[in-house]
Amino acid sequence: MIKNPYPGKFIVFEGLDGSGNSTQAELLKKYLQKKGFKVLLTKEPTQKSLAGKKIRKVLEKKEKTSPFKLQKLFVQDRKEHLRNEILPALKQNKIVISDRYFFSTFAFGAAEGLSLNRLIKLNEKFPFPDLTFILDAKPKTCIQRIEKRGKKKTLFEKEAPLKKTRGFYKIFPKRFKDHKIFLINAEKPIKEVFKEIKKIINKELKNMKTNQIAKIIDHTNIKPEATAKDIKKTCQEAIRFGFRGVCVNPEWVKLAAQELKGSDIKVVVLIDPPIGDSSHKQRVKLCQKAKKDGADEIDIVIPIVDVKHERWAKILKELKEICKILPTKVIIGSGYLTDSEIKKVSEIVKKAGAICVKTSTFKDPLDHFELLEKARHLKIMKEAAPGLLIKAAGKIRTLDDLKMMVQAGADIIGTSSSVQIMEQAQKKPGE
């Protein structure tokens, strides 16, 4: 399995049917929302994929299949679940709570006689949860709760197989000891179970909030006078705080890539500031060299003059070519543009295949206005390019500035004040 690469946090509830997964997941969702977190609550198997619907029929004993084929259905359903719901939410810095994930299929599949190692291998390309709660209740208790709800028992809801399944659940905290897996006594009343979960969550919240902030920041050093020593310091700061990326000018890409090697921090290169007035040929050449030097992403300024002359076809064609080189964030220079131009270029950026539309870089006229105006622009960009990441940059210097941009729709923050923002966040954990 792989580490969650996104800024959002992935929390999973596991356990036998009747152990209280759905109830506790719902309670945690409400608790975190009150704390100000954006939360997605989901569950497996889903009812949206063909595999998920097939699983439901097998569990309800309407169809039959072999244990291994059932596991392959779970894997297919999980793959689609991750792609369509979980990963997009994690990218948007949300907390995802899933009622069941791969631990359920490990436990139930192994209880049916399948190799646990083989089951783990089937799921090896999926992200590991950041936090897992295994609700442990006796099979007899679970069955009584199911019967009390008046529901029919599904394929696995018999006491003998449930005892085997429970046994496998109980070994997971030791088997995966490098991960945060908590075995919770679910024999207790609902409020007492949640009290224990809340205690663990509150310990995690301090780090969770600051980590989430760090994972949306592109730590920026684009000063023309920056030296190699300055760039190394910027990279060291990024590693210390765990920032999303480090944004530098083209001449420092190779050094940044060397300094950040072995980390999951992206090397971001700024191309053609402040108004994108180089020739297309020069811009392509700069992007190709940046890729060769080790850049992971491009932040490129849209040609502002072309926007003002409404050369939409030219802009689209050229951006498409650049977006094929590396994942691309397009800086639209929103301070130069009217609302209708912001809307139009955001739509073009999405059509071109970029991953993100960004407000501005240095010398943007908007830097002399209130951040409220930048926030208004973000909302236009978000509406015009749904599904695209939105990056805010320029004069974002405090934690309150960052929060304002995020509330307006920003998914990524570009700032050279990253360290100060993180220091402020660490002084106010959980806010």
Catalytic residue list contains 299: yes
- Give the residue from 164, 192, 212 where a domain finishes: 212
Rounded distance between C-alpha atoms, residue 412 and residue 76, angstroms: 31
Which stretches of 332-431 are assigned E, i.e. beta strand?
Answer: 356-358, 389-393, 412-415
Domain tally, the chain: 2
Task: Answer yes or no: is 1 within a domain.
Answer: no
Which domain CATH number covers 89? 3.40.50.300
Q: What is the mean pLDDT of the chain?
A: 92
Question: Tens digits of per-residue pLDDT, 273-302?
Answer: 999 999 999 999 999 999 999 999 999 999
Q: In which domain, by residue range, is 392 found?
A: 216-427
Catalytic residue from among 215, 329, 350, 358 = 358
Q: What tokens appear for 200 in the block?
A: 């663990």
- Give the residue from 185, 212, 239 where a domain finishes: 212
pTM of the model: 0.64
* Pick from 26-30, 176-180, 257-261, 358-362: least confident: 358-362
- Amino acid present at 351: K
Task: Answer yes or no: is 350 within a domain.
Answer: yes
Catalytic residue from among 77, 130, 299, 401 = 299
Asked if pLDDT for residue 192 goes beyond 50, the answer is yes
Which domain CATH number covers 368? 3.20.20.70
Furthest C-alpha separation in the chain: 74
Catalytic residue list contains 317: no
Rounded distance between C-alpha atoms, residue 354 and residue 330, angstroms: 7
Q: Would you state the pLDDT for residue 155?
A: 45
Q: Would you state the pLDDT for residue 365?
A: 67
Contacts 24+ apart (CB under 8 A), 339-345: 339/380, 341/307, 341/308, 342/377, 342/380, 342/381, 342/384, 343/380, 343/383, 343/384, 344/312, 344/384, 345/302, 345/307, 345/315
Q: At what angle do helices 339-352 and 371-384 cross, to 10 degrees?
A: 50
Catalytic residue list contains 358: yes
Question: Span 375-392, mean pLDDT?
Answer: 95
- Give the residue from 189, 212, 235 where a domain finishes: 212
**39 by DSSP, 3-state: which?**
strand
Task: Answer yes or no: is 4 within a domain.
Answer: no
* Pick from 71-80, 86-95, 97-106, 237-246: least confident: 86-95
- Phi, psi angles (nearest 5°) of residue 53: -70, -40
* Structure confidence at residue 157 as a pLDDT band (50, 70, 90): low
Catalytic residue from among 54, 344, 391, 395 = 391
Q: Would you state the pLDDT for residue 151?
A: 62
